[in-house]
Amino acid sequence: MVIGIISDTHNLLRPDVLAALQGCDRILHAGDIAKPEILTTLEAIAPLTVVRGNADKDWAQALPLTESFELAGLRFFMTHKKKDIPAGIEADVVIFGHSHRYEETRHGETLFLNPGSCGPRRFTQPITMMIMEIKDGQVEVRKLTFAHGEKQTKAPAGDLRDMVEGIVRDVNKSRTVQEIAGKYRISEDLADQICRLYLTHPGIDAEGLIMKMELYQAGK
């Protein structure tokens, strides 16, 4: 059995990702889908199991926050955030997303997998997904990394904290992404990433935004 594992598409299904999913027997999406059209496209390729992410809003309320299921005789558990995995989980494979960071670790008999993000690029983080093959009860996981195909935008020189605090104020004033990008002379992609993270993490401050979005590294 061949399983495509993706997460954090944020309303972007890249052609290379769609090509990699062709021939899969099942697709697993660990949340932050963005719009339902993403699911329609994926369901046309293979049966789909999906959980709701923190960026999935009103349309996604019917989607589960967690899913437990069996595939090829193995027990799976899937949720969007790693912190929502129950302690002492009894499963052969646990899948999660949210961080946009690829992870493949084993704790005891349980394999923990984060496919990373195959949607819009978040600064220096690579675009990744997983292909899992189950044969005779044995699991093989393959990491796929894609070229981002877009120019990486660096944060402008100067005080990043002041810039991010300014962006937060502008978001609270309902300024558009385009207005924010022009004001701070950054790309619309960079402005959109900062605005989205601020809106999906209530209570986060400028320092938290900088750490999460790795602006210090992106600004080097």
Measured between alpha carbons, how far is residue 179 from residues 9, 25, 114 in Å? 25, 44, 34
Task: Give the fold, CATH level 3, of 2-146.
Answer: Purple Acid Phosphatase; chain A, domain 2 (3.60.21)
Using only C-alpha atoms, the chain has a radius of gyration, in whole angstroms, of 18
CB-based contacts of 169, cutoff 8 Å, min separation 6: none
Give 170-214 pLDDT, tens digit per residue. 999 999 988 888 887 777 777 888 888 888 888 888 878 877 765
Q: Judge whether 180 and 191 are in contact, CB under 8 Å.
A: yes
Look up residue 75 and give its DSSP letter. Answer: E
Give 19-71 pLDDT, tens digit per residue. 999 999 999 999 999 889 999 999 999 999 999 999 898 899 999 999 999 99
DSSP lists the bridge partners of residue 6 as 29
Q: Kindly list the domain boundaries of the chain, sorted by start residue.
A: 2-146, 160-218
Separation between Cα atoms, residue 134 and residue 45, nearest integer Å: 19
